[in-house]
Structures are given as C-alpha cells and as structure tokens.
Amino acid sequence: MTATSSLTLPQRRRGSRSSASPRFARRSLNLFYVPALAVLALFTIWPLLNGIVLSFTNWNGYSPGRSFIGLENYGRLFADPIFHTALFNTFIYGFGSTLIQQVVGLALALALDRAMRGRNVARAIIYLPVLVSPVVMGTMYYLFFSYNSGGLNDLVVALGGERTAWLSDSNTAIALIVLVNSLQFVGISMVIYLAGLQSIPVMYYEAARLDGAGALQQFMNVTVPLLQPAFATSIVLNLIGGLKLFDVIQVLTGGGPGYSTNSVSTLISTAYFDNQTAGYASAMGVALFILIAVFTLFANTMLNRKRLELQ
C-alpha cells in the first residue's frame, strides 16, 4: 500500500459552504453593484424625482414655503414664446451639431485610417479639445469672435473689411454656437468611426475590388453597412450632448441678445436663478428630459432596425 492510498480524504458534508460556493460567489458579486446603485439613486434618481415634484409647485427656489399648483407650470410652457424660441434653438443645437460631427468625424476617420506619417499626432490634436472644459473653449472663442479685439475681426480688417458684431446677431450667434460645439466634440465621432473602420475585415474590400468596385462603391456597399453600430453610437451620444447644450451658450452669448440664443438648458438657469421661478424651471427640466429620452430612444431604435436590415 502506498503512502498516497493510505491517506483518507475528508468526507464533504451535505450543505457545506463549498457546495454552495457558486451561489455564494454570485451573491458576493451582486454586492459590488450596491455602491454604483447608491450613487445613481442619490445623484440622479432622487434629483429627478424631486424635480418632478417641484414642477407642480410655485416654489421660488429660496423661501421655505411652496404651494401645490397642479399643471399650471406645464400649461405655461405651451403659452410662453420665450420657451418656444429656446426649444427651437435646442433642436438646432442638437441636430445641427450632430450632423456636422458625423460628416466631419467620418471624413477625419477615413483620412486618418490610412498609413501616413504623423497620423497619431493628428488624431491626438483633433481629440485634444474634447479634454478641454466647454467653459474654457467658449471663452477662447468668445475672445476670437469679440468685436473690438477679436482675432476674426482683426483678420477681416486686415483684408479690407469692416468689423462685425458676430455675437450680437442671433442668427450668426446660433450658427457660431453650433460650429464651436461641433469642433470641440468632433474628436469623439472620429474615434468611434476609427474603431469601426479598423474592425472591418480587409478581405471584404479585396473581394469588392475583385468584383470591379471602385472607391465610392466600396464605401457605399462595404464601409457604410458595416459602420452601422458606429453610426448608432456616435449619433446618439452627439444628439444627447447637443440637446442639453449649456456651457458654450452661457459663455458666448449668455442666451442673448435678449433670449434669442437660449437653449432650454440655459433658459432653465435663467428661470431658476434670475427670475426666481424654480417651479417653472423644474417643469422645463422635466420637459427637456422627456424630449431627450424620446429622441434618443427613437434614434436608437431606427438605427438598430437599419443595422438589422443590412445584416
């Protein structure tokens, strides 16, 4: 008899901890969700629920007293022309920025996906503005577009033109806000599309070339269909960011002239802190939340449906 065979292994007891270890491990793993859920409940769900409650009151944001007024704040939204202007501007900021970021981001990704000298440096430079605070970025462009000492007006004067108050005209100011926001965050779209392009197998392009497909046909029939997941991700992210745009507007125009360049986000700030109508500001916040949720869900559903059709 060998030494090994002489050893007596301990009998596993029924219901011991080792037999329940997978379930115990799953329970232990679930506990890791608790801190994240607590933070989500404290900083997202609770403020959302509190905002919904405030939207049914006439609270001014400072006094301890407030009264329940039902749907009066929501009825005021439909009759307020300033809110209508801000809502229209929000659509321009959201969809305008999203469109520019997709077109420019995809073009940059296609250009920088090729083997070329300095492409990593170019990618870093294009992505760098994403890391800068929107307030800092807005201040830089405010100085560039300012009337008296702005770089753009200095260039116009040097070419024989006259100074222009770029930010005093609402149409020009809205276009510049869309442009500034798009240029700052176009790096996100570029990175998403670069990841999508690099996940497309080269054999698809080789097969297309053997079939006689040109560059445009390869792009339309290979690149675009296989980039559908990247399109969905980039469009949804940029749409959310554009619809809740705040910082750049606040720095460049402060919502002016008048209320003409406000988004719903900046108008909420004005209603709460300047006009002391916190209940009405909360109603606008709830409306903006529903708006973003509906458009995001719609865009995500349509893009996923399109992706399934192409598979």
Please give the domain boundaries of the chain with CATH numbers for all domains: 52-309 (1.10.3720.10)
pLDDT of residue 149: 81
Helix (H, G, I), strand (E, B) or coil at 57: strand
pLDDT of residue 7: 42
Spatial contact of 276 and 60, defined as CB atoms under 8 Å apart: yes
**Over the chain, what is the mean pLDDT?**
87
* pLDDT score of 4 more than 80: no
Tens digits of residue pLDDT in 167-176:
999 999 999 9
Dihedral over alpha carbons 249, 255, 261, 263 (to 10 degrees): 70
Tens digits of residue pLDDT in 151-184:
999 999 999 889 999 999 999 999 999 999 999 9
pLDDT of residue 15: 45
115 vs 104: CA distance, rounded Å: 19
> 96: which 2 tokens?
């305008």
pLDDT of residue 8: 46
pLDDT of residue 301: 85
* pLDDT score of 245 more than 70: yes
Helices 278-310 and 228-243: crossing angle in degrees, nearest 10, is 170
Dihedral over alpha carbons 16, 22, 27, 31 (to 10 degrees): 120
Long-range contacts, stretch 168-171, CB < 8 angstroms, 24+ apart: 168/257, 169/257, 170/257, 170/258, 170/260, 170/261
Residue type, 207: A
Tens digits of residue pLDDT in 73-105:
999 999 999 999 999 999 999 999 999 999 999
Angle at 247 between CA 246 and CA 250, to 5 degrees: 85
pLDDT of residue 61: 87
Confidence tier at 303 by pLDDT (50, 70, 90):
confident
pTM, entire model: 0.84
